[in-house]
Amino acid sequence: MFTNPGAPTKLTVLGATGGTGCQILRQAVDAGHEVTAIVRDATRLPPDLRDRIAIVETHSLDDGAASAAIAGCDAVISAIGTRDLKHPTRVCTETAGILTTAIRSGSHRQPRLVLASNSAMAPGPGDDPLTRFFVKPVVLAPLLRHMIEDMHRAEQIVRASGVPWTIVRAGRLTDRQSKGGYRRGVDRNVLGGFQITRADFATAMLDAATDPACTGHVISVGN
């Protein structure tokens, strides 16, 4: 199991009102990080966290709002995703475009962009043969097609942007209690990494955000 306490740092978090985002906020402030949350509706944040973080409330994220929110931070964590698997979506694509543009236009040192993604899109080394050649391409790819297409476009934007980045891929996220750690692969998949608790995925995102050695790598994680 991988654990990394990470040094205190200044973080900006998107998707902060979602299941994973709330876990990231809570773990980040408990670890002593300085946190800014970009949200559409601040009332959806847990009440006990609102006084412990800076909040940027915007109903329409654009380059200007993003630039102001990330100014001076060390890392930007995007936990943006979609729960709608039936319809095409561009939420991850558009967010990645806005964030990379905002990071490039900043006058200060560029923060690293840490992007949440899904391991179903990437059959390859680290997977067992059944998962690599059947489960991911034959079963999951059609089932998760719209989500995978959106996350794939977002990854391409981030990789080509010229900004420092880390992509953290996971399988199915669960609301179960944290396992107290996680398994990870660097630029390869995790054997049997079909699922991970949201709490442990949040830990993995924070670990990636506070570890400079993760820059330019895809980190795959699972329980």
Task: Output the pLDDT for position 201.
Answer: 98
The answer to the question of residue 4 being in a domain is: no
- Alpha-carbon 160 to chain mean position: 17
The answer to the question of residue 203 being in a domain is: yes
H-assigned helices in the chain: 19-30, 47-50, 63-70, 91-105, 129-130, 141-143, 145-160, 198-210
The answer to the question of residue 5 being in a domain is: no
The answer to the question of residue 1 being in a domain is: no
**Whether pLDDT at 133 is above 60:** yes
Quote the domain boundaries for residue 68: 10-222
Q: What is the pLDDT averaged over residues 17-21?
A: 94
The answer to the question of residue 189 being in a domain is: yes
The answer to the question of residue 31 being in a domain is: yes
Average model confidence (pLDDT) across the chain? 91
CA gap 223, 207 in Å, rounded? 15
Residues 100-112, buried b or exposed e (16+ Cβ, 10 A)? bbbbeebeeeebb
Could you give the angle at which helices 19-30 and 198-210 cross, rounded to 10 degrees?
Answer: 50
How many folded domains does the chain comprise?
A: 1
**Whether pLDDT at 188 is above 70:** yes
The answer to the question of residue 111 being in a domain is: yes
Predicted structure pTM score = 0.92
Task: Output the pLDDT for position 68.
Answer: 83
The answer to the question of residue 194 being in a domain is: yes
Q: Give the CATH number for residue 89.
A: 3.40.50.720
